[in-house]
Amino acid sequence: MIKKKWALRKAIPKKVEKELTNYPELVRKLLFYRGITTAKDAELYLNPDYERDLLDPFLMQDMKKGVDRLLLAIEKGERVVIFGDYDADGIPGSAILSSFFDEVKFTNYEVYIPDRHNEAYGLNEKKIGDFIKEGVKVVITIDCGITDVKEVAMAQAEGIDVIITDHHLVPPIAPPAFAVIDAKRSDDEYPYKLLAGAGVMFKFVCAVLATKRFDLPVGWEKWLLDLVAIATVSDMVALTGENRMLVTYGLKVLRQTRRLGLQTLLSQIKLRPANIVEDDISFMIGPRINSASRMSHASQAYYLLTTKDQAEARTIADHLEGKNQERKEAVERIVKDIGEKLDGLASLPEIIVMGSSDWGLGVLGMTSSKITEKYGRSVWLWSKNDAGTIKGSCRSDGSLNVVEVMAGAGDKFFNDFGGHPMAGGFSLSGDKGKDLEKKLVASAKKAKKKDVVTELLADEELSLDQLTWETYKLIEPMAPFGMENPKPIFWLRAIEIDEVKYFGNGGLHLELMFKKSDGKKIPAIGFFVSPTPNDPTHIFGDIKLEKGEKIDLLVTLEKSMFKNYPELRLRIIDLKKPEGKVKP
């Protein structure tokens, strides 16, 4: 079980204070807490520059080899397959390459994106067989392929050259592809290792154009950055270094995107392009792209990103909106179902193992995360596919290695399982479902456990009156926020609740209202944090949340455009009983 400990970050050294003296005090602290200690680094961080920060793509191992092979295929008119992953990284990455093909009038290609529910991740032998029969000469992977040794060997042996573009860790034995473009290769000299899959593909297209321009205008490739931004934010890779620049400029392109499908989607979900920020990708655009593979097929999202037909754009946008709504309702329904079952128990089990054939396979991962966050337990959730096979996702609370626990169930119990200590997936025969909980509970009892203390670090302690637009404007240049560049967290001490609301499917989400000294109110929103959905008092741990109660609160400060006008609000990170005095 996770135990939480709050702490204020340490004061910054006087040397760094002096070095960053041209910035306001709060900005100096926030820069230092993000590893920035010099004025030069602060300038690079606060003012990303496309020309300055874009790295040479040919520093990647095999880049030239892959580029030359593709140019030969274009020259000879050979059949090319774009093989993309089915998530919001692989789909935009596939659209990047196909957009280039369309622009240079190369038509002898197809895009293949696997079915999340009925095909394995990455290349598979059946499709390689199909490609062989179809006379395909080049397969280019996007956001996948780096672990597909057997499949790549099969393709290469049959005369298909495979160009892998990926960003995942390279296994000890790399696939015998014609070219392997992945900055995580041990012999790769590319200075930045954290590009998303679509980011690698963008670099590939840049390298192609650097070799042969195809009469395209200088800078045409920048119009691909809307797709890079969507993929980079959605795939939750680090928003540092080159990624920070790519997303900064990608957001600028997204605000004026030429893609008819994106324009239609933004209009449908009432997002004004001029106001788009990274949170809109995380919570609005990315989930709708991902909903295609989770609730139907990823190809729908690909078509949305590439269509040039208004009627088709509207049809697909409507489809994805419907599927996204189904996804949200499915997650909320499962969270509610599990909550009702757990609330009826005298105490929480050490691990949570639940499943139902009625639960959608595509939402089990995100639902597992919600349940782990909510109850502080390691979680295994499952459902069944069309063939009756049980498939599921698991998440750790930090005290258990989920892969180790699954391994302890026996070599022959699961059809397959994998992942890393904090998250994984599994499948097993449908007739073994009745034994799943018993096997996992027994294994978890034997597994090594560790007490997990999550330290929640606050960047600064503020009062309610200091939560102003002026404060927001100080932190805004630090965006885009994301992995390894988190939003600043502020500690509010002993603040009095003015109002409590709950919303979303019986009260899964929480809104607290606070009143400043001038009488103005500021809301604080927490999603999936109400542990008892039907209890309007919102018991949060051992705290009864009601008007007049005082709490300590950890929050981020954000600008909401939900009602198409700017509203300053707080996003709840955690709360607890008051500690110490209010900062004067």
Does some domain include residue 121? yes
In 261-273, which positions are buried (b, 16+ CB within 10 angstroms) versus exposed (e)?
Answer: bbbbbbeeeebee
Whether 66 and 22 map to the same domain: the answer is no
pLDDT attached to residue 345: 86
pLDDT, tens digit, 9 for 90 and up, residues 4-19: 889 999 999 999 999 9
Q: For residue 508, give every residue at least 6 positions away whose Cβ sits within 8 Å of its Cβ, in sequence order, or none.
A: 332, 335, 336, 502, 527, 528, 530, 533
Q: What is the pLDDT of residue 448?
A: 84
Residue 232 inside a domain? The answer is no
Instruction: Examine residue 302 and state whether it is found in any structural domain, yes or no.
Output: no
User: Within this chain, do residues 24 and 90 fall inside the same structural domain, yes or no?
Assistant: no
Domain carrying residue 215: 57-225
Compute, in degrees rounded to 10, the torsion defined by CA atoms 441, 446, 447, 449. Answer: 100
Same domain? 96 vs 214:
yes
Question: Does some domain include residue 383?
Answer: yes
pLDDT of 2 reads 59
Q: What is the pLDDT of residue 102?
A: 98
pLDDT in tens, 248-301: 999 999 999 999 999 999 999 999 999 999 999 998 999 999 888 877 888 999
**pLDDT tens column, 127-168:** 999 999 999 999 999 999 999 999 999 999 999 999 999 999
Last residue of a domain, one of 225, 258, 280: 225
CATH number, domain with residue 545: 2.40.50.460
288 in any annotated domain: no
Share of the chain above pLDDT 70, in %: 96
Please list, in sequence order, all residues whose beta carbon lies within 8 angstroms of the beta carbon of residue 156, skipping any fewer than 6 positions away: 162, 176, 177, 178
Residues 390 and 467 in one domain: no
Last residue of a domain, one of 179, 206, 225: 225
Same domain? 446 vs 460: no
What is the rounded average pLDDT for all residues in the chain?
92
Give CA–CA dist 469/401, Å, rounded: 43
On whether both 35 and 67 belong to a single domain, the answer is: no
CATH of the domain at 350: 3.10.310.30
Strand partners, 424: 394, 419
Looking at residue 581, its pLDDT comes to 53
Same domain, 411 and 466: no
| 358 is a domain residue | yes
Element containing residue 81 per DSSP (H, E): strand 80-84
User: Are 379 and 494 contained in the same domain?
Assistant: no
* DSSP code of residue 490: E
Are residues 439 and 483 located together in one domain of the fold?
A: no
Say which CATH number the domain at 167 has.
Answer: 3.90.1640.30
Strand pairing category for 521-526 and 567-576: parallel
What percent of the residues of the chain are helix, what percent strand, and what percent coil, each to the nearest 5? 40, 20, 35
pLDDT tens, position by position, 496-537:
999 999 887 667 788 999 999 999 999 999 887 765 544 444
Q: Is the pLDDT of residue 355 over 50?
A: yes
Residue 302 pLDDT > 90, yes or no? yes
Q: Which two tokens stand for residue 543?
A: 């705290």
Our count of domains for the chain comes to 3
The pLDDT-based confidence of 545 (bands split at 50, 70, 90) is confident
Asked if pLDDT for residue 565 goes beyond 50, the answer is yes
Spatial separation of the C-alpha atoms in residues 122 and 143, rounded to whole Å: 9
Instruction: Name 8's Cβ contacts closer than 8 Å, sequence gap at least 6.
Output: 457, 458, 460, 461, 491
Both 484 and 368 in a single domain?
A: no
Categorize the per-residue pLDDT at 584 as very low, low, confident or very high, splitting at 50, 70 and 90: very low
pLDDT at site 104:
98
Q: Where are the beta strands (DSSP E) in 292-397?
A: 351-355, 378-384, 390-395
Is there a single domain that holds both residue 392 and residue 532? no
In a domain, 100, yes or no: yes
Which of 225, 252, 270 is the last residue before a domain boundary?
225
Residue 100 pLDDT greater than 50, yes or no: yes
Does the pLDDT at position 364 exceed 70? Answer: yes
Q: Is the pLDDT of residue 208 over 80?
A: yes
pLDDT grade for 45, boundaries at 50, 70 and 90: very high
Helix (H) or strand (E) holding 555: strand 550-560
pLDDT at residue 39 in the model: 96
Tell whether 64 is covered by a domain: yes
* Mean pLDDT lowest among 41-55, 75-89, 405-419: 405-419
Residue 417 and residue 385 share a domain: yes
